[in-house]
């Protein structure tokens, strides 16, 4: 799959989190949301980063599936125990993604089926 043009900018901004990532497979309307996801992870990792047993988060894959964001990652652990706060942050963005327009990033959007694909679409982009 061809990577979206906007992906290189976000990859540069968050190279540590997205460095191992093979591809971002998301619509451009989610760029700001994915940027905020990365910023929230970075903000919370500050609390754990001084612990020598902490393994930093590295996203393995971020994609759109059935109209929602799916973010798969490695790390976010202390002594092989996942940190619940990291899971909560990722889950929050997966949940809200179904209400963020995949075309323009507007909120609210509703899940719409178009050409057999499910997309969250705002009323303006639906026209």
Domain boundaries, the chain: 7-97
Q: With a cut of 50, say whether residue 40 has pLDDT above it.
A: yes
Average pLDDT, the chain: 89
Q: With a cut of 70, say whether residue 1 has pLDDT above it.
A: no
- Which element (helix H / strand E) includes 31? helix 31-45
Q: Which of 20, 16, 14 is nearest to 32 (CA)?
A: 14
What predicted TM-score, i.e. pTM, was given to this entire model? 0.89
Phi, psi of 93 (to 5 degrees): -70, -30
């Amino acid at each position: 799959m061809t990577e979206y043009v906007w992906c290189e900018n976000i990859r540069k901004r968050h190279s540590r989190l997205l460095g191992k990532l093979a591809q971002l497979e998301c619509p451009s309307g989610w760029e700001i949301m994915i940027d905020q996801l990365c910023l929230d992870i970075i903000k919370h990792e500050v609390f754990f980063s001084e612990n020598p047993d902490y393994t930093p988060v590295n996203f393995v894959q971020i994609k759109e599936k059935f109209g929602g964001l799916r973010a798969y990652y490695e790390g976010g652990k202390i002594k092989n125990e996942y940190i619940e706060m990291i899971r909560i942050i990722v889950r929050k963005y997966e949940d809200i993604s179904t209400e963020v327009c995949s075309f323009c990033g507007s909120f609210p959007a509703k899940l719409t089926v178009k050409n057999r694909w499910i997309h969250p679409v705002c009323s303006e982009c639906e026209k």
